[in-house]
Chains A and B, each alone.
Chain A
């Protein structure tokens, strides 16, 4: 566990350093092209540092807002609060803040920068479908991520690297709809704008798999197995999490509207916006989760 914490802090540092260097280089390149000297570099570095600080201190809030999670009080969700508090006691960490995501899909995630500043969010669907023991299994898994500081890496990835993902989705869609729809003025007007979007879309298209790869490198699949095992060490009851995972698997066809490729790695189960089984090709690029069947098998062997 302590190695895990150290490794996560190292990953966070590398991610932030990588982002600063990357943006700095872009700034430098722009400076060279426009021959405006070091201004571009300075500006890019300032932006990079601001982004790094922002994602460190406000990353959890950005993630929570992007999934439309709402904080709930102990009176509103006594069961969830009791379970979160109990398991936090078992883990010897502060009680996380508790959020509910208004979605019917069965899923949950944890975010924050350390156990003193952590939040867990579960979907309304999960809350309704799980009994107490199953919910304990899920919350135990999320608290294991909190303990290991997986939440730190996950949140930084979601906000820092995720910015690129969000941009790529934006440009992709703008380009796609703008290109096919021919909405306004087929003769003139949209010309240069469409061209810019097209170029940006192409760049992002190339960038997306790279970004996906960075996310995959930052958050390994083993982390999920580890959190399963560690969460079960808190609840001391593997069948609870097994039964929860079975229900989640059975309900995985329910689409999640607030899912996106920037936050996909944070969720307990790989979310998909697409109705039915499986996920879209772009979503597959950002697949970071091991199959649920395999997770169940490992839990049952304990």
Chain B
């Protein structure tokens, strides 16, 4: 009789443990997915802004054609990217291209004073830092999720219910996150 009660109590305890771990995994997975959705929203915002920017700059600096093509192509590649690492690589190219573009703008005082350009610049700077922040949030969640999936005993629950580790969204130059880049110079 006593043995039966102990066994039942143990089983109940284990079930409770599994339920709790499962719920934690689900919560983290949802947060990770939500984090990625946030990154995606901001990336799309940047894709929308790039053609406008290129058009505005072209009006003043027509012969920087190579640079325009580079940015435009990088944008197209980024839109087509299907995996997180591919996406990260294409985004790095966009970021580099945009930095060059804004560096070039320094030589055109008329453009720098253009209101439409200034508004675009604020939008892009804002979007850049939002991408950085969304990436930060996403990577934090990925780290927590991967840690939980990788550590004992939650690894057993994760395996049993098919939770998989997520890739980080990496940029090449973390020391110079876009948040600190001052395009205004």
Which positions in A face B, CB cutoff 8 Å? Answer: 78-79, 81-83, 85-87, 89-92, 131-133, 136, 234-237
Contacts and interface: CB of A to CB of B under 8 A. Distances in A.
A133 B130 contact: no
Interface string B150-165: 0000000000000000
B130 A82 contact: yes
Interface of B: 31, 34-35, 38, 42, 119, 122-123, 125-127, 129-130, 132-134, 136-137, 177, 179-180, 182
A79 B122 contact: yes
A89 B119 contact: no
A82 B126 contact: yes
Contact of A89 (B133, B177, B182): B133
B32 to A, nearest CB: 11
Given A89-B38, A132-B182, A79 B136 contact: no
A234 to B, nearest CB: 8
B133 A86 contact: yes
Contacts of B132: 86
B120 to A, nearest CB: 11
Nearest to A90: B133
A86 B122 contact: no
Nearest to B41: A89
B103 to A, nearest CB: 18
B129 A237 contact: no
Contacts of B123: 78, 82
A79 to B, nearest CB: 6
A153 B132 CA distance: 31
A92 B39 CA distance: 12
Nearest to B118: A78
A89 B140 CA distance: 12
Given A82-B130, A236-B177, A132 B136 contact: no
A81 B119 CA distance: 13
A138 to B, nearest CB: 14
A92 B137 contact: yes
A91 B134 CA distance: 9
Q: Which of B127, B136, B182: most chain A CB closer than 10 A?
A: B136
Q: Is the interface of B mostly helix, strand, loop or mixed?
A: helix
Contacts, number: 56
Given A78-B122, A132-B182, A83 B136 contact: no
B6 to A, nearest CB: 34
B180 A133 contact: yes
Q: Which of A90, A91, A234: most chain B CB closer than 10 A?
A: A90
A79 B126 contact: yes
A213 B127 CA distance: 44
A133 B133 CA distance: 14
B137 A86 contact: no
15 contacts: A81-B126, A82-B125, A82-B127, A83-B126, A83-B129, A86-B132, A90-B133, A90-B137, A92-B34, A92-B35, A131-B182, A133-B179, A136-B129, A236-B177, A237-B179
B184 to A, nearest CB: 8
A89 B134 CA distance: 6
B38 A86 contact: no
Contacts of B31: 92
A93 to B, nearest CB: 10
B23 to A, nearest CB: 16
Nearest to B177: A236
A67 B168 CA distance: 44
Nearest to B134: A89
Given A82-B122, A83-B129, A92-B35, 19 more contacts: A78-B119, A79-B126, A81-B126, A82-B127, A82-B129, A83-B126, A86-B126, A86-B129, A86-B179, A87-B133, A89-B42, A89-B133, A89-B134, A90-B134, A90-B136, A131-B182, A133-B182, A235-B179, A237-B179
Contacts of A86: 126, 129-130, 132-134, 179
A136 B180 CA distance: 10
Contacts of A92: 31, 34-35, 137
A50 to B, nearest CB: 37
Nearest to B122: A78
Contacts of B177: 236
A136 B179 contact: yes
A159 to B, nearest CB: 32
